[in-house]
Amino acid sequence: MKIAVLGGTGLIGSQVVKILQAEGHEAVPLSPSNGADLLTGEGLDTGLKGTDVVLNLTNSPTFDEASTDFFRTTMANLLTAAQRADVGHAVILSIVGVDQVPDLAYYRAKVLQEEILKAGPVPYSIVRATQFFEFVDAILSWTTDGDTVRLPSTPVQPMASADVAKAVADVAVGAPLQGTRNVAGPEVFTLDEWGRAALAAKGDKRPVVVDPAAGMFGAVPGDVLIAPEGAVLAETTYRDWLTR
């Protein structure tokens, strides 16, 4: 199959391209650097010519209200070009529980992205994943207060980006789901527990204090970031990932 991967040079996209190519598919990363600009639509007709499947793994450069315009514009451009190119399957990557966190602007924007895809003219699949192990340092930096890290006790079920990429690749080569597949890691932590484990793994002795209002995850209610029933669970544990 010929599979176009927008965002194909990013953390997930680059791994997806490698997986698909190893499986014998023609996986082509598309980005402004090779003439395909999802924000302007320039180069998409050429990039999608002869494509069977298109993956949109791009992400908004900000997590604020501006992310809404990013996803609205990029999805409109993608679906218009995909329809013209007679692409048979469009896939996006989203977030487990994203539709249950209306207080976060970025999550609202991702819900809009899903809704545009569902209402569009191209058969589709949505892969919702939990937080990536690779993002824990960024989460800690957002909530560091001097020599103390403040984190809410929000339950999370993080996973390795390599497992996310494999899940996306598997969906890409299958029939359109016309729905959503949830994927998650094998273990559940509270966010403060995960933070302590991440710091300990680096020999960082800063204390983690539970603060229900700290960071963007302070706005997440209950256990909405935990895999729902029927989710596909990856095998890589956090300890496995740390010792890889």
The list of the chain residues with pLDDT below 50 reads: none
Task: List the structure tokens of 236.
Answer: 């890589």
Crossing angle between the packed helical segments 11-22 and 161-172, to the nearest 10 degrees? 50
DSSP 50: T
pLDDT digits (tens, 9 = 90+) for 173-216: 999 999 999 999 999 999 999 999 999 999 999 999 999 988 88
Q: Token pair for residue 207?
A: 């204390």
Q: Which candidate, 181, 182, 185, places its Cα nearest to that of 241?
A: 185
**Quick one: pLDDT at residue 215?**
84
pLDDT score, position 184: 98
Q: What pLDDT is stored for residue 174 in this prediction?
A: 98
